A and B are shown apart, each in its own frame.
Chain A
Amino acid sequence: MSEGTDASGTGASAQPKGIDPRGPRFAASITAVLLMIAVFLGLTGLSTATDSSGWAISSASLAERASDPGFIALLIIALLFLWSVVSPRTAPWGALFRSVIAPRLSPPTEREDPRPPRFAQGVGLFVTTLGLILHLLGVPWALPIAAAFAFVAAFLNAAFGFCLGCQMYLLLQRTGLVGRERPAAI
């Protein structure tokens, strides 16, 4: 969202701008599968376990919370989200799509702006990080619920091509949280 990156000044990439829209959807389907696994590990792990004194996570040590399989799975997913936000071109699923999948498909009929998928990865990063932090603080159910929200977004993107990031961007902008340019005061 920084203006300098793709403002008209660069001009080097004059040919078909944008990325193949099937790339982010391919990545989203892998992410959805990984998130499904994280939800499952979260549900069966420490996050939802109870013992005689109540929630098991409340009495667990920080190391125990951090070594929960669900936590590790979601941490890996969060790091992948971070990768896609920081450097979308080198992110593994996108690279896999371009090198293995795309050459076997017909060329894309249209291209899309790479910023929406990147913004959506940022939303995914935010949700999963929130779940990880709450889990480390000892909040029960935080892990599978955060993973489930991210799963819904990834699945809707993969299966229905529904761009949750677009909607969110506009909503956030209306509340003034993003989008630095306010209309000039008249």
Chain B
Amino acid sequence: MTLINALIGLAVLLVATVALGIFVQWRQGRPRRHIPHEVIEPTRLGADTLGETATLLQFSTELCARCPGVHRTLAAVADGREGVSHLDIDVTHRPDIAKHFHVLQTPTTLVLDRHGVVQTRFGGAPNREVLELELARLSGETAHV
């Protein structure tokens, strides 16, 4: 291969990698709605109850660099709001749970409403502002009911 072609190849590789990184970053932290609705029973996950307004259900693994940081963020968000609780499930040794919730990356965060219905899903580290907005939406809904 000639030098020019090799350099073009390198440039393509670099641009493709940067594009992939930007895409991944853009997709993470963006909430996904319209997920098949499922009611989650807290006992199945080893918790007693769900939050009165909402529950932040986080899935982590042992080998996950970002999970502790997300755990702190979610715990702080849950503490700052009445009726919101935070559950962190380690799925390292529970591939059955990971499979059931289609967890392909950690951290993955589900926002449950007060009935345990999955409202929103975040793959990767959730954006805190978006998360607050989701919770405000959920508590607003509860107020109207």
Contacts and interface: CB of A to CB of B under 8 A. Distances in A.
Q: Is the interface of B mostly helix, strand, loop or mixed?
A: helix
Interface stretch (A90-98, A126-134, A170-178): A170-178
B93 interface: yes
B92 interface: yes
A159 B64 contact: no
Interface stretch (A36-44, A61-69, A79-87, A99-107): A36-44
A145 to B, nearest CB: 10
Interface stretch (B17-25, B42-50, B109-117, B136-144): B17-25
Contacts of B64: 113, 116, 163, 166
A121 to B, nearest CB: 12
Q: For chain B, give the interface size range.
A: 35 or more
Nearest to B24: A162
A148 interface: yes
B13 A39 contact: yes
Interface of B: 1-3, 5-7, 9-10, 13-14, 16-18, 20-21, 24-25, 61-66, 68-69, 91-96, 98-99, 103-106
B93 A162 contact: no
A169 interface: yes
B37 to A, nearest CB: 23
A148 B11 CA distance: 12
Contact of A151 (B13, B24, B104): B13
Given A49-B1, A174-B98, A162 B21 contact: yes
13 contacts: A21-B65, A39-B10, A40-B7, A44-B2, A44-B6, A112-B68, A117-B65, A156-B24, A166-B63, A167-B106, A170-B103, A173-B92, A183-B93
B1 A44 contact: yes
A16 to B, nearest CB: 12
Contact of A166 (B96, B98, B106): B106
Contacts of A48: 1
A138 interface: no
